[in-house]
Structure 1
């Protein structure tokens, strides 16, 4: 019962963390499966909707579609449903943990990322490599030159920060808030996009403009820059000044995670602002010059 209790309450022990991560891996392997799981039904539902052709048209010039190159551009929309589902699940657990004063719930929220995405993607990639053709959409994504390296970079952050924080700092508010903003806030920010992306750009240009502004300014500039950097620095100083600051097993992966996340945030902010400028800035500047 000791190990089972550690897993259920996601205790900061080796057995508790490994066991709870495996639970999240198994749970999300079903939720995110496009053949038999929940996302298979979501995919079929979305494709039946009368607005799906509009989604397909809207997603053709989406930045991610240009990189991942799905055969059906509309699938990029479905993948966003999964992303919001994933971040929302983590955010709910973390929020409940903070509101109820139950850090074990917050730790489960962190493992939604570690077990339900980082480790799960590793297994899916191995499945494609060793048992081709593997599962969709991983077998399609691996054809992109950028996806493998980007996922290795992205998932290293979750693994390097998730386990140390769960083991040693999950009861500290600063770490809880930073984790909630990184994992939970994307669901709030990107959720409205699921509605916006079903609307014709030509008929609703102002809504689309507001959407791009929202993502660029509120998410990438607000939460991932203005909030993130002071919060991450505060957490780093806490780790550095703690007794674990001299433990390279903790400080080294934690430092890498914060540096990698910082670089990722800056890169994505630049991409987002550049996309906003290409879509709206040039025309606005030309209109000003003509006037």
Structure 2
């Protein structure tokens, strides 16, 4: 019963953490399975809705669709729901742990990321590689050469800090709040998009723009910049000054996670700021304003599409721009001939 109790209460022991991570892996492997799991039913439900054609149209220009090229662009909306559900699930457990004074619940929330995403994705990638065709949609994601390296980059952060924090710092409020803001808060930032993305982007352009502004202010600028950098540095200093600061098995993973996530957050902020500037103050935008008194709606709609936040935001944005640049070169080459 000792090991079972450690797993149930996610005790900060090696057996407790490994066992609880496996539990989360199994749970989320069922939830996110598109053949028989929860997401299979979500997918079917979404496709039956009268607003699904609007979602398909809205997601055609989504940056994620440029990379993954799903036969049905609307599937990107389903994966967007999965992202919010994942962040929300971890956030609820962390919130309950903090409100009820039960760190074991918070630790389970952390393992929603470590076991329910980081380890699960590694398992599914291996499944596709060794037992093709593997599981959907991982087998589609892997068609992109960027997916493997980006997953290694993204998941290494959770793996490097998740277990060490659970083992040594999970009862410290500073770390609890940082984990909640990192894992749980994105569900609040992205949640309104579940409704907004079902609306006609031409008819509700201003509402779409307001939703993207909400994401920018709460997610990119708020939680991932204004809150993140002071909080991350404070947590790092706490680790450094703690008795575990001299343990390289602890400090090296923390250092990597701090640098990697900081770089990721800065890229998101920079890309979004650049998108706003180009759309609102670029030449094309100014000409459009002069042409029509109603052009603000078109500008807003354009910003809304350009400013889409996806699971792989940075990769999507960079690859989308690369595709556009490649098309421009081809077009220019054709004209020259």
Native 8 Å contact 2:46 2:78 kept in 1: yes
> Which has the higher mean CA deviation after the structures are superposed, 14-23 or 66-75?
66-75
1:71 corresponds to: 71
The 1:201/1:279 distance shift into structure 2, 3 A limit, reads: farther
1:164 corresponds to: 164
- When the two chains are superposed, the root-mean-square deviation of aligned CA atoms in Å is 1.6
The 1:48/1:165 distance shift into structure 2, 3 A limit, reads: same
Post-superposition shift, 1:63? 2.0
Native 8 Å contact 1:67 1:146 kept in 2: no
Native 8 Å contact 1:212 1:276 kept in 2: no
Q: SS in structure 2 opposite 1:34?
A: coil
1:257 corresponds to: 257
1:93 corresponds to: 93
Post-superposition shift, 1:281? 4.5
* TM-superposition CA deviations, 1:172-224 (whole Å, max 9, x none): 00100000000000110100000000001100011111112111222101110
Match status 1:127 vs 2:138: no
Native 8 Å contact 1:89 1:109 kept in 2: yes
* In 1, Cα distance between equivalents of 2:136 and 2:89: 22
2:177 corresponds to: 177
Native 8 Å contact 1:196 1:211 kept in 2: yes
* In 1, Cα distance between equivalents of 2:109 and 2:227: 20
* In 1, Cα distance between equivalents of 2:59 and 2:281: 20
Q: Calculate the TM-score normalised by the size of structure 1.
A: 0.96
Gaps of 5+ in 1: none
Native 8 Å contact 1:69 1:144 kept in 2: no
Post-superposition shift, 1:71? 2.1
Q: Calculate the TM-score normalised by the size of structure 2.
A: 0.83
Match status 1:209 vs 2:209: yes
2:272 corresponds to: 272
> Which has the higher mean CA deviation after the structures are superposed, 186-195 or 64-73?
64-73
1:23 corresponds to: 23
* TM-superposition CA deviations, 1:236-271 (whole Å, max 9, x none): 000000011010000000110111110111111222
2:107 corresponds to: 107
The 1:69/1:271 distance shift into structure 2, 3 A limit, reads: farther
- Count of matched residue positions in the alignment of Structure 1 and Structure 2: 291
2:6 corresponds to: 6
1:225 corresponds to: 225
Q: SS in structure 1 opposite 2:244?
A: helix
Q: SS in structure 1 opposite 2:70?
A: coil
Q: SS in structure 2 opposite 1:199?
A: coil
* In 2, Cα distance between equivalents of 1:121 and 1:248: 27
2:188 corresponds to: 188
Equivalent residues in 2 for 1:224-243 (5 A)? 224-243=224-243
Native 8 Å contact 2:279 2:285 kept in 1: no
* In 2, Cα distance between equivalents of 1:16 and 1:267: 36
* In 2, Cα distance between equivalents of 1:285 and 1:14: 60
Q: SS in structure 2 opposite 1:96?
A: helix
* Runs of 4+ that moved beyond 3 A: 274-291
Native 8 Å contact 1:216 1:276 kept in 2: no
User: Max radius of gyration: which structure?
Assistant: 2
Post-superposition shift, 1:54? 0.7
Post-superposition shift, 1:276? 3.6
